[in-house]
Chain A
Amino acid sequence: MSKMAPPEELMNVNYATPAEAWMDVKPEFKLGNYSYPGKPDVLKYLGLPNPREWNPTEEDWKLPPDWRDIIRDGFRELLGKYRSLKIFMDCCVRCGACADKCHFYIGSGDPKNMPVLRAELLRSIYRGEFTVAAKILGKLSGSRKLEEDVIKEWFMYFYQCTQCRRCSLYCPYGIDTAEITFLARDLMNRIGVNINWILEPAANCNRTGNHLGIQPHAFKDMMEFLVDDIETITGRRVEPSFQRKGAEILFITPSGDIFAEPGIYTFMGYLLLFDYLDLDVTWSTYASEGGNFGSFMNDKWMKKLNAKMYHEAKRLGVKYIIGGECGHMWRVLNQYMDTMNGPADFLEVPKSPITGTVFNNAKSTKMIHLVEFTADLIKNGKLNLDKSRNAGITATWHDSCNTSRGMGFFEEPRYVLENVVEKFVDMPAQTIREQTYCCGGGAGLNNGEFTEMRLRGGLPRGNALKYVQEKFGVNTMSCICAIDRATLPGLADYWAPGVTVTGLHELVGNALVFDGEEPRTMNLRQEDLPGIEGSEEEE
C-alpha cells in the first residue's frame, strides 16, 4: 500500500462534483480503492462460475461470453424474488437526503458514494432493460444499457459499501442500500466478479468452521494459550469444553476473537465469565464462526453457512445458543436465521440458569446475545464487579452498524459498560446509536489492500472519537463487533492516536471479582493495574 497522507490532508475532502455527467465518468482502479479479486481455486471450491486469474486494473476482465444474458436473467430473477428490490428500484425520488450520510462519501467526496447514486448504478440498468417509459428517453431519464464499464463501476462501488444502512435510516421510503449492494453482489458473483477477502473466508467457514481456516486441533491449541494466559493473570485454571453433548448452552462467537488482538482479550473475558458462573456451556470447533461471510455474497451462501449453528445445536442436544460479540453476525441472527433455517423447535426458549430470566425476545430463534445475558446478570446483582480494575479508562462506546440499524441494541451494552468502568462518555449524538458511523471495514472490506479507502471511510467515526478524546480525555473505545475490533485499532491509530479499542467482555473480565481470588495485579492484556506495586509507568 502507498504511504497514507496525514489526517489533516485526508480530511480535506473535495466535495465538488465533476463537470461530466456521472454516466460519463469511468471508475479508476488504483491500489487502495479496490479489493483483490477472488482466487480461481476458491471459486472452484465454492462452485462459483468463471474461476480465472484477473486484475481489475487491466482492461480485460475475462467475463463469460454470455455475461449480459446472465446479468439480465439474474436481475429479472431477483426482481421476482425480492419485493424490496422492486420497490427500491421504483420509488427513489432522488431527494438527496441520503447523499451526505455515507461514511465513504464523507471521506472520499466521490459522488458515486452518495447512496442515491450508488443505487442509480443499478437503477439505470433496471430502467434501461426492464421499463418501457425510460427506455425511450435514454440517458435523460437516467437509463442505460449494460456495458462492461457498468460492471466495472458496480465492482468499484458495491465493494465500497459496507452495508451499514445509515442511509436507509434517513430515506423517506426506507430504501436500503445494504439490500441493493447485497443483490448487486449476488449478480456480480454470477459472472465471476467478486473479491477474495469475502470468498476465501466463506470457503474456510464452510470447511473448517471458521473464516480463518483454523482446523479443530489448532483451534483447541489457541484456546489453551488463552487459558494459560488467564491462569497467569488470575491464578485460575478455566476449563472450557468442546462439542460436549448434553450441555445446556452452545456458545458461538466470531473466530476473530480467538485469533488476534484485541479480540483475544474479549475471548478471555467470555471464558472468565462462564467460569465465574459455572455455566453449563460448550464450544464447537465445527460451528466456530459467528460471522457470516455468505451474507456478503448471496442468499444461498448466507443460508448455508448459517445453517451450521442449528445443525450443531441439534446434534449436541443443547437447550439454546448464546452468541458472542459481533455485528453482521447479529443482523443475520436477528433478521435472517429463523426465516432461513428455522424453526428451531428442538431448542428451548432461553432461560438464564443464574437469574431465571426468560428471554422472550428470542423465544423463536432461541439464540440470545451474550450482552443481554450479562446485562441481566448485572441487573440481578449476580456479578461482583470491581470498576477500579479498569481504572484509568475513560471509555466511549462504538455502536456497531448492524446491531444498531438491524436490531436496535443500544441500552444493554451501555448498561454493562457503565457497570465495569468508572468513566464513560458518549460520542456526539449524530454519530452514535441509530445514527452510528461505520468503522469502514464491514461487509468484507477489512482487507489490507483496501486500507486507504477504509481509512477515508473511517473519517466520521475517527473524527467523533478524536473529539471526545480531546474534550473528555477518552482513551478507550469499546465495541461489540469482531470486525470493529479488527478495524478500529487502525482507524484510531490514524484518526485519534492513543485510543485503545476493546471488546465489552474484556472489560467485564477485568472487573469480575471471584470469591477468594488472588488479588489481580494485571489486566487481561497483562498490563499492570494502576495503583499496584511496581506499576511505575501508569498512564
Chain B
Amino acid sequence: MAGLMTALLAVVALAAVAALGAGAGMSEVFGIAVPYVAVAIFVAGFIKKVVGWASTPQPFSIATTGGQQYSLPWVKQAKFDNPSTPGQTFIRMALEVLCFRSLFRNTKLDNRVAEGRVAYGSDKSLWLFALMFHYCFLVVFIRHFRFFLEPVPMIITGVEFVDSILQIGVPTLYLTDVFLVVGVTFLLARRLWDPKLSYISLANDYFPLFLILAIALSGIYMRYVAKVDVIAIKQLAIGLVSFKPYIPPNIDWSFYMHFFLVCVLWAYFPFSKLMHLGGVFLSPTRNLPNNTRMERYINPWNDPSIKPHTYEEYEDDFREKMIEAGLPVDKEA
C-alpha cells in the first residue's frame, strides 16, 4: 500500500506543480524548458540503455521453445513457436511484439480441493486489456502528430477519421480515448484486487499507471470539457519542433498540466520498467532460433582453457582396475 500511495501522491503533486506553476507565469518553463530537457533525457537515456544491452554479449542461444522442434521430415514443426530459421524467428518476434503471443497463453490456476482436482482455466483478460491499452496508446500517440506537422499528413487524418467514426458529440469522441482509460484502469484494478499482484507491486508499478491515467484524463478534459484553443497549442508545438519556441497567449492551464505529465513520462521512461518497450526485442529466449544443433552459436568469452578431466588422467587413476576387468587401456601398466 505504501507504494501505491507514494505513486498516487507523486502524480497528484506533479500535476499540481504544472497547473499552479503555469498559472503563476511560468509558462516558459513548462512550455519550453521542461519539454526540451525531458526529450533530451528520454533520447539519451533510451539509447544508453539499449546500447548497454546490445553491447553485452549473449553467450548462449537459449530460446524457450513453445512447440514442436524442427526434426525428421515427417514431423510437423511449430514454426512460429519453435523457429529454426531467422525468418521464422522474425515471425515469432512479430507475433510477440504485435500480438502479445506469450500473454495469449495465460491461464489461471484453480485448485479445487473439494473435487481433488487442480484445474487451469483460460485467462485472456490480461492479454485483451494489455493489447487494448498498448494499441490505444499508440493511436493516441500517432494522432498527436497533427500538432507537430503542417500540413497534417493523410495518414494522421485517416487515423483520426477512423478513431472518431461513431460521430458522438462535439468535438467527436475518439474511441481510443475511452479504451485507453478502460485499459489502464483494468491494469490498475487488477493490481489492487488480485492479492498476488498487490503483494508484488511496487511504487514503480503504480506510478506509470497513475501517470498515464492522469495524462489521459487531462487530455480528455482539455478536448471535451475545457475545449482549449487548439490553434494556439499547435503554434506552441510547431515552435518547439522547429526550434523557434514561442508561447502563444491564452493557453489553458490544463494544457500545461497535460504537457508536463507527458514530459515526466518521457524523462522517467529510460530509468523504469517501461523500457520493456526496447527489451522485448532483445530477449534471448524469444529472438534466437532453436537451431543450435544445426549451426554453432558463438560465445565471445568462451574460455578455451577450460578442459575436461582427460581420458588419460582417468586411465591413470583406474588403469589397474580397468585391466583386471578386461577393459581396454591406452597404456599398459
Contacts and interface: CB of A to CB of B under 8 A. Distances in A.
Asked if A pairs with B, the answer is yes
A322 interface: no
B61 A411 contact: no
A174 interface: yes
A133 B269 CA distance: 11
Contacts of B306: 300, 303-304, 307
A405 interface: yes
Nearest to B202: A142
B161 to A, nearest CB: 31
Given A120-B200, A362-B294, A83 B282 contact: yes
- B interface bracket (residues with beta carbon within 8 Å of A): 35 or more
Contacts of A165: 64
Contacts of A304: 306-309
B177 interface: no
B197 interface: yes
B204 A134 contact: yes
- The majority secondary structure among interface residues of chain A is helix
A242 B100 contact: no
B273 interface: yes
B296 A364 contact: yes
A81 interface: yes
A412 B56 contact: no
A244 B205 CA distance: 61
A90 B49 contact: yes
Interface in A238-294: 242-245, 285-286
A353 to B, nearest CB: 16
Given A81-B59, A94-B201, A111-B199, A357 B72 contact: yes
Interface in A80-119: 80-84, 86-87, 90-97, 99-101, 106, 111, 114, 116-117
A137 B203 CA distance: 9
B102 A169 contact: yes
B111 interface: yes
Contacts of B120: 428, 430-431
B69 interface: yes
A364 B84 CA distance: 14
B171 interface: no
Contacts of A406: 62-65
Given A12-B113, A94-B200, A304-B307, A339 B285 contact: no
Given A96-B196, A114-B200, A300-B306, A335 B61 contact: yes
A305 B307 CA distance: 9
Nearest to A312: B311
Interface string A448-485: 00000000000110011011000000000000000000
12 contacts: A11-B111, A18-B199, A83-B57, A84-B283, A91-B273, A96-B190, A131-B271, A132-B271, A168-B64, A174-B285, A206-B309, A220-B325
Interface of B: 2-3, 6, 49, 52-54, 56-72, 74-76, 78, 81-82, 84, 96, 100, 102-103, 105-109, 111, 113, 116-118, 120, 126, 130, 190, 194-205, 271-273, 275-276, 279-280, 282-286, 290, 292-299, 301-303, 306-311, 314-315, 317-318, 321-322, 324-328
Instruction: Please list the 10 inter-chain residue pairs (A to B) with the smallest Cβ-Cβ separation, ordered nearest first.
Output: A408-B69, A91-B279, A217-B325, A174-B285, A307-B308, A100-B109, A408-B65, A174-B283, A174-B286, A430-B120
